[in-house]
Each structure stands twice: as structure tokens, then as C-alpha cells.
Structure 1
Amino acid sequence: MSSALSVYLTDKMPVNYLAEKALLAFKDDAAHIVIGDNEEENLRRIQKAGRQLDTQGITSLSVQGPGWDKERQWALSLGYTSTLSTNSVQWSAEVADELQQVNDVFRFTRELVNLSAEEIYPVSLAERVAKHLSELAPDHVSYELIKGEALKAAGWMGIYTVGRASQHEPAMLVLDYNPTGDADAPVESALIGKGITYDSGGYSIKPSEGMLSMKCDMGGAATVSGALSLAIRQGLNKRVKLFLCCAENMIDGRAYKLGDIITYKNGLKVEVVNTDAEGRLVLADGLQAAGEAGAKQVIDAATLTGAAQMAVGNEYNALFSVDDEAAEKALRFARQENELLWRLPLNRWHAENCPSAFADTANSRPQKGGGAGGASNAAGFLLRFAPNDGKGWLHFDLAGAYQKSATAMWPAGATALGVRTIAATLRG
């Protein structure tokens, strides 16, 4: 077994033949990462150096010397990975247990997203998450799996309609984490995840290049599941319900069509003008379920719109809320956890921005990408279903959840960006 490569931090390049802007140098059988005075930039430099070390085939690192606080060590770990790697980092003893917890959760979250749709389909996604959380807290977790025609009977028409054309039946996971010992304890928080395990676009079919990465369209379900897993490991003592809205958006003779009307459990009628705007259709069921549970705080997460990616890029997630206090809390936790999050506009009138002549609302606008303001209009659609008139509700549009190809910061595939922020918001 090879020994780990020692990695040091330095404020001066240890060799004189490299450019001043170089991130990394090798000297005396060790790697040296050059940092400066700006800590935000330092974390980016360390993560980029981790990527370079990963691409050079180095399988084990050990942090050495002064300057390695928890966030710097985690930044190194974020870069020092890939979809196929089994790399390991030997962290400093004082933070090793804490970072290993986060690392285990990130590996779980990334694996869910990176596995192919042949391996992760609606029921298997729900079962994997239920198994993971049940093993983590066996005395505090119970769950129910509603699938196939039982969804229709229960009134969860969004999930049922989107998923009915697939050979893999749609499903809703309803998982209850209750560490209080009181069966009647109030539900402090509800987590809702978009679990579209593959998205062809339906009859509004995607082009081939747009479909290639659509195994990642259950990134919201993976993110909230990972967040709950992390919060439990960190001592979460509040009751939380998890709702995963799982379906494959496929095409056959039973597939839903443009012009169809979906009548939801709350009586709201929605005209389908784009079958590729399916994420909001399934999340609507989860939001109603959260309302039935009486949750005080409601958080949903989804790889929902390309418009959010156009707005914030692939290194941020986008946040929407009509509750300023709740939004500021989430942004504060994102800064604390060093995860990039940006609040985009959401007003109550956004709920009116997808009008229909045949129903209470349409699920989008009949324009490419939903037209101008597509991410805000999607959030406005969800606002129609948010409990408590949107008080305590946070919607994460996960623009940074998946990288189609490797970058200087990230490997190709899932990033798990947002897991730490949502876990902290649950605990806070």
C-alpha cells in the first residue's frame, strides 16, 4: 500500500521556476498549495489544487503543517475526487471525525445522482434512501412507499400523471424522522425532493445532447436525502418528514400530453403546455403533503429549470422564497457552510405568470425554456401549492448540482452542492 502524499499550505511558491499564479508545486516529495490573503479565493485555490492532484493519479493525501482549518481541508476534499475515484484524505485529528461524516454523506448523495437510470428508477431510489436513513437512525425512522395506481387513489396526481408511461412505476416516499419519542410531536420541517430518475422530456422531447445527463434529474431528491442524513449525524433532535416525488418522464401510449388537465388534490386544475416542465408537477404533490403534515418549515429542492442555470451559472444554487426571514436564514447558513447560494426574484404575482384559458394555471408558458423569467415563474407555480401561504417555505433550484463535464473546480457528475446548507437550515 502506497503512503499518502503530504500537502502543505504556503504563502510563497517554494520553487522559483513556476509562475506566480501557479496553484501547486512539488518539492521534497510533498505538494505545496499557494494561498494568499483573501479566504474566499483561498478556498477556491485549494479546491482547484485538489482537482489537479486527482487528475495526476495520486490516490491518497495527508494534510501537513499549519493553516489547515476545517473548511480548507474540506475544500481540498471537494476537488480531490471524481466519479470513479476511491481517493482518501488523511485529515487533521481534531476535525477528522466531522469531515468523515460530511464525506460519507457526499459520497452517498453523489452516488445516487451518478448511477444510471437503469440502476436508479423511482421505486429503487425511494428504497435506497429509506434503507440508508433507517440504518442510520433505526429507532427514529418510519416510512411508507406509495406507488403506481395507489398514487392515483391517494390523490397524488402530479407524480402519477408524469410517471404513468414508464415501465418503472412512479412512487412517493413518505419518511418520518422523529427523535422526540412523542408520536404526536409537531413536524418542525418538511423536505421535498424532485425525484425524476430519467427525463426524456415526454412528448416535448429533449434533443439527444439534452438527454445525456438526465439521470441527474433526481438531484433534488438526492440532495434533501443527503441533507437529512447529515443533519441526523450532526445531532438533529427535531421531527422532520421527507417526501420524495419519484417518476420517470417517458413516452408511450399512456404518456400525458400537451393540453391535458391535471386536477390536484386541493382542487387546482393545471393545463400541461410543456411535458418537459414536469418537475413542478410532481413537487406540487410533495408541497401539499407537507401542508397536510403541518410542517412549520418547508424546503423543496429540484434540478428544476435551465433558466436558473442561465442566471447563476453552475457554481451557485438559486433560492426562491416569499418569506424574507426564512430566505435570509438560508443565505446565512450557506455563507457559514461555504456553499454558493443566490436569491432570485419571487413575488406573489409570479404565480399568475403561466395563464391558461382552460384551467386555473398552466405548468409553464408555451415558449422555449418557459420564456423570460422562467425560473421565477416555475417558483411562482410552486407557490400556489406551498403551505401557509408561503411562510417558512424555501425553494432551491439546484443549478450547481451536476457538472456535465469536469471543470477546474469540480469533477464531472454530481457535486452535492446544497447538502450542507439544507442540513444546517434543518438544525437551525
Structure 2
Amino acid sequence: MADVVQIQLQTESAANKWGKATLTPTGSGFQIHLNAADALRSVQKAGRSLDGLGLTQVQLSGDNWTLELQWAFYQGFCSAKKQGGVQFCGDSALTTQLAQLAQCFDWAKQLINQTPDELYPEQLAKQATAFITDIAAKGTVNSHILLDQQLLQQGWNGLHAVGRGSARKPAMLVLDYNPTGNAAAPVSAALVGKGITFDSGGYSIKATESMLAMKCDMGGAATVTAALALAILQGLDKRVQLILCCAENLISSNAYKLGDIITYKNGTTVEIVNTDAEGRLVLADGLMCAAESGAGLIIDAATLTGAAMTAVGGEYNALFALDKTLAQKALAYAEQVQEPTWQLPLELWHQQQCPSAYADTANSRPVKGGGAGGASNAAGFLSRFVPNAGKGWLHFDLAAAFNNSNNAYWAAGATGQGIRTISAALLGEA
């Protein structure tokens, strides 16, 4: 449809007139009947229904559209084939906020939905750099990309090991956003993202149905990049470092193998018992790089474990932290921006949950899915590589970042869930 369809929101009960209908036609478009008991989800579901009718351009109209209701509609209406198409309503401050959200979410979702042939490690690093540079004020961004052997020269052995099996070599992006005008300003926060542009599982190879969606395994990198961009648009005035750990996890004669031992820059030795537990191996390097910046706040994000999805489902992201006070703040930020997030257990003893007879730790347990408590054990592994006994560190396992298929609330593909939470934490804690 080429015409712009008007979408109004009816907040009073229409049950007597329309029964259980969520949508009814009007002379200029459609009216959504709000379910006050579940307002955001009912509006998001209506957005999905309207997308299913083949609408391409809609105008939200009327006085009942808050920021969160408009954003819920947008999330439901958009799909991998159609980003945008929603004209927001309200005053200029409101529509500006919504446009900023759309800009950052659209970029992240488009990136995650790219095919693995289009998006490879170096390309991911370059696209993230270009996006932040375009959004930030001139002269506030400096970055460099370490490729292949340069990683070994800097001691980033985990990232290199995971990515060395691909002809398209691993890369680490280190981007410095410094709006202070002071080259000696301290780094207030560091963001670390898992950027596995395709995950075959390596020699612990995935089944076809599990591997099909693994273009999304760089969702953590896209999420933290978009979160930084959103914070910049919303006035971030502190120095922040962005670190993306980018690789393809493939099988070849040069790929890392079961039984290999990786020695990390901090001296920790790691036995490989599952090559499909690669995300934690690359994040370990990113977290140590973040620690070198001296940042008081370190946030990492990754599509890390199937165990997190089993625990919280596809509507929630999982949060882990040794810093319990910071975790409660992060949960409050998530609630404030309407991104469902649930804290799962993490204690220092989780570091010992993947024992090895040959190294300080294994990268998992040699059982399907990493065994009981797999998401917490992965977080425990990561906690070996953060400073200050985990004070100031948050780990997001992005169970809600991607849907393999359409459902009543989300189109298939990337969702962007986690961007607003991390951006809010960055603005509130950096």
C-alpha cells in the first residue's frame, strides 16, 4: 500500500461494542483497542497484526500515544524486510526521542539480520566504527582495529584461537569516544561485545536447525554499539571505550580443537572441552582490554548461552553480576525502559564449575549445553577476567536478542532488546 494509513489508539473499554477484537477499521485506517491490563504487549501485538496485513506506511495519530506505547507499536510493526514505516506523533521532544530510538535499533537489527557472507569480522568492526563516527561530534572518536597476527602480538590469544580457522580473520575493535576535549580524561565506562559473525560450533559442530540462525551471534557487538550511539544522542558527556571481539567460528585444518589449551594475557590457562563455547573465550580478551582502560564501569553483552534462553525464555534478557548493588540498579534501568530482564545466580565459586585436569579451568563442561547452571558457569568463567573482584561489572546474556521465527509480538530476526537498558546504565552510572 502506498497510502499512509492512520492508526488511532482507543483507551476506553470497547468490549461491549467490539468483543475481543484488538483492531477495528476506521474511515482513514485502523483503531487499536488498548488492553489496559497488558497495554504495551497489546499494542505491540496490534502492530504485528497490521504488518501482517501488508501495510508499509502508517501514521500514529490522536492524543493517547505515549512514548512507550508508540515504541511498542514500532517494535511489533517492523520486520527484517521492513525497517521503519512508522510516523510518530506528539511534540517535537517526544518525536525526537522516538527517532533516536528508531535510528539506533534499525542499525543494530539490520546488522544482526545481515547474512554471514556479507558481514565478516573486519567488516563488523568497520561498520560499528562508521556508525559511531557518524553520530558523534567531529573529533570525539578515535579507533583502531587489530587483525589476525596483531591480536597475538597484543596477547589477545582467545579471540585469535576462535577465529583462526576462517580465511576471514578475527578482529578486535577498540574505539574511544571522548567528548571531554581532554586527551587525559579518565575512561568512565567500557562496553564489550561478542561479535561472532557466524558460529558453526567448530569441531563441536551444531546441528542444522541450531546453526541456521547463527548469523545473530554478533548480536552482543551490535547491541553495545547501538547502546553507545543512543547514549551519545541522549547527551553522554563521559569518555567511553567500545571493544568488539569479532570472529567466525569455523572448521578447517587451522581451527582450534578440543583439548587445546589457551594461555590468556593474565596467565589463566583454559582447556577447550567444547569449541561451541567460543563466546566466553573471545569476551575474556575483551574484558581484559576493558580492564586495561581503567574504566570503573564495564558492561559486556553477548548471545552467549542456550542455557539462558532455557531459563528465562525469549522475552527476557539474563543479567549476571558479582556487584549486587550495581545489579539492582541495572534491573531498575531495564524496568524503566520496559526491557524485561532477570538476574540469574553468579558467585565467585562459579569460577570453579568447569574444572580441568590440565589447565586452570575448562571453557565449559563436556556435556550437552554445558550441564546444569550453564549460563551461570559461563558468567563465572568471564568473572576470572574482570578487575576488582567484579565490582562495577555487568554481564548481559541476550536471550531476547533474536527470534528464529515470527510470533504474535515479534517478527523473525533481531529485536534490539538490551540496547535501551545498557544505554540507560551507561548514562546513569558512567
- TM-score, normalised relative to structure 1: 0.97
Q: Secondary structure at the match of 2:36?
A: coil
Measured against aligned partners, the alpha-carbon deviations of 1:79-113 in whole angstroms (never above 9, x if no partner) come to 01110115422211311111011101111000110
CA distance in 1, matches of 2:85, 2:287: 39
1:80 equivalent to 2:77? Answer yes
1:35 equivalent to 2:71? Answer no
How far residue 369 of structure 1 moved from its aligned partner, in angstroms, is 0.2
How far residue 22 of structure 1 moved from its aligned partner, in angstroms, is 2.4
1:135 equivalent to 2:134? Answer yes
- Show the 5 A alignment for 1:225-374: 225-374=225-374
Structure 1 residue aligned with 2:117: 118
Q: Is the 8 A contact 2:143 2:173 kept in 1?
A: yes
Q: Is the 8 A contact 2:83 2:106 kept in 1?
A: no
Q: Is the 8 A contact 2:301 2:395 kept in 1?
A: yes
1:68 equivalent to 2:50? Answer no
Q: Secondary structure at the match of 2:63?
A: coil
Report the aligned-residue RMSD: 1.2
Structure 1 residue aligned with 2:14: 13
1:48 equivalent to 2:62? Answer no
Structure 2 residue aligned with 1:90: 87
Q: Is the 8 A contact 2:401 2:414 kept in 1?
A: yes
How far residue 15 of structure 1 moved from its aligned partner, in angstroms, is 8.5
Gaps of 5+ in 2: none
> Which aligned runs of 4 or more in structure 1 are off by greater than 6 angstroms?
none
Q: Secondary structure at the match of 1:330?
A: helix
Gaps of 5+ in 1: none
Measured against aligned partners, the alpha-carbon deviations of 1:148-192 in whole angstroms (never above 9, x if no partner) come to 111011100010000001010000000000001111111110000
Q: Secondary structure at the match of 1:223?
A: helix
CA distance in 2, matches of 1:275, 1:175: 28
Measured against aligned partners, the alpha-carbon deviations of 1:389-415 in whole angstroms (never above 9, x if no partner) come to 100100000000000001111000000
Question: In structure 2, what residue type is equivalent to 1:50?
Answer: G
Alignment identity in percent?
Answer: 55
How far residue 14 of structure 1 moved from its aligned partner, in angstroms, is 8.2
Question: In structure 2, what residue type is equivalent to 1:84?
Answer: K
Q: Is the 8 A contact 2:345 2:376 kept in 1?
A: yes
Q: Is the 8 A contact 2:158 2:262 kept in 1?
A: yes
Question: In structure 1, what residue type is equivalent to 2:88?
Answer: W
CA distance in 2, matches of 1:230, 1:140: 15
Q: Secondary structure at the match of 1:202?
A: coil
Q: Is the 8 A contact 2:157 2:265 kept in 1?
A: yes
How far residue 66 of structure 1 moved from its aligned partner, in angstroms, is 2.4
Question: In structure 1, what residue type is equivalent to 2:130?
Answer: K
CA distance in 1, matches of 2:6, 2:274: 53
Q: Is the 8 A contact 1:14 1:25 kept in 2?
A: no
Structure 2 residue aligned with 1:184: 184
1:416 equivalent to 2:413? Answer no
Indicate the larger mover: 287-296 or 82-91: 82-91
Q: Secondary structure at the match of 1:174?
A: strand
Q: Secondary structure at the match of 1:59?
A: coil
CA distance in 2, matches of 1:330, 1:232: 19
Q: Is the 8 A contact 1:105 1:230 kept in 2?
A: yes
Question: In structure 2, what residue type is equivalent to 1:379?
Answer: A
Q: Is the 8 A contact 2:84 2:102 kept in 1?
A: no
Q: Is the 8 A contact 2:5 2:29 kept in 1?
A: yes
Structure 2 residue aligned with 1:378: 378
Q: Is the 8 A contact 2:35 2:42 kept in 1?
A: no
Question: In structure 1, what residue type is equivalent to 2:288?
Answer: Q
CA distance in 2, matches of 1:146, 1:54: 42
1:106 equivalent to 2:105? Answer yes
Indicate the larger mover: 83-92 or 72-81: 83-92
CA distance in 1, matches of 2:238, 2:175: 14
Q: Secondary structure at the match of 2:252?
A: coil
Q: Is the 8 A contact 1:166 1:248 kept in 2?
A: yes
Q: Is the 8 A contact 1:59 1:86 kept in 2?
A: no
1:57 equivalent to 2:54? Answer yes
- Show the 5 A alignment for 1:162-177: 162-177=162-177
Q: Is the 8 A contact 2:162 2:281 kept in 1?
A: yes
Question: In structure 2, what residue type is equivalent to 1:35?
Answer: L
Q: Is the 8 A contact 2:84 2:106 kept in 1?
A: no
Indicate the larger mover: 400-409 or 134-143: 134-143
Q: Secondary structure at the match of 1:181?
A: coil
Question: In structure 2, what residue type is equivalent to 1:299?
Answer: I
Q: Is the 8 A contact 1:404 1:412 kept in 2?
A: yes
